[in-house]
Amino acid sequence: MKLARFGLYLQSCTESNQLQMFIFNSSIGKKFVQAVSGAFLILFLLLHATINFFSVIDSFTGKYGAVAADDKLFSAGDGLFKLGCDFMSTPVIDIMVPVLAFGFFVHILYGCWLTVKNIIARGGVKRYEVSGKGATDSWSARNMFVLGIVILGFIGYHLTSFWAHMQLPEMFGIGTLEENPYVLLNLTFGKWWVLLLYLVWFISIWYHLTHGFWSMFQTVGWDGKTWFKRIKVIGIILVTIICLAFAITAINAFVQANCLA
């Protein structure tokens, strides 16, 4: 009985070692981790872009800034954006968002690690450049690491602008901006230079994701001639919708804060 258990233990160790070898040593495994974590990134951005775009809809329905006097979730007098923020504070989303965010940061950290390893292995930045011409030889493909660094820098700024002023205080029960998230939108995007920085960020995300989307499907084997072209088009459409939603939200908040206040 003990020998059988020991055999199962050795088998599990062997399988665990094989998994580690696949993830950390094989090129396919490394790309697979990036593909899966990249999917988390896209879902994370899609969720946030949708919630944020509700504020634009509120502008056309006359409910921008509409917040009910009571403290109940999903009050009838709230605007769509406020209802969306209420949705983001529900238990299900409280669990899902950290999971998506974890995949997001795994994607960033793993990508940085892979890039540094490749640069060292190939003897420098110039040797890192691909010489072949093909589907991967696009500006975004050759500058994924640079785009990733730009995106990462703005994530830090974004966290200090939004998360640190809304979600973080709410965790400790000392926040007030979650009661009227429109105020935070206006405070953040009311400055023209902040709006400009965010627009640069959204453009960087667009370039990064348009390459990353089809690369993700190519990694998992969906690279047939017919469907691969369709996946590229679908990726461009989806990423464009996400980035446009973010950009229009920022521009709309700037207009609300400076022209319609």
- How confident is the model over 238-261, as pLDDT tens digits? 999 999 999 999 999 999 999 875
Cβ burial, residue 65 (10 Å; 0-12/13-18/19+): buried
Mean pLDDT, the chain, whole residue set: 75
Q: Compute the distance between CA of residue 30 and CA of residue 38 in angstroms, rounded to an integer.
A: 12
Query: What is the arithmetic mean of pLDDT over 192-217?
Result: 86
Across the range 77-104, mean pLDDT stands at 81
In a domain, 250, yes or no: yes
Under 8 Å between Cβ of 147 and 41: no
Structural domain includes residue 126: yes
Q: Is residue 38 part of a domain?
A: yes
Percent of the chain with pLDDT over 70: 67
Instruction: Please check whether residue 22 lies inside any domain of the structure.
Output: no
| Residue 52 belongs to a domain | yes
Residue 13 lies in a domain: no
State pLDDT tens for residues 129-160. 444 444 444 666 666 667 777 777 777 777 77
Range of the domain at 160: 30-258
- Is residue 177 domain-resident? yes
Q: How far is CA 90 from CA 2, 7, 19, 86, 184, in A?
A: 48, 45, 35, 7, 20
In this structure, what CATH number is given to the domain that contains residue 193?
1.20.1300
Q: How many domains does the chain have?
A: 1
In a domain, 14, yes or no: no
Q: Could you tell me the two tokens for 196?
A: 């400009």
For 143-191, list the strands marked E by DSSP.
Answer: none
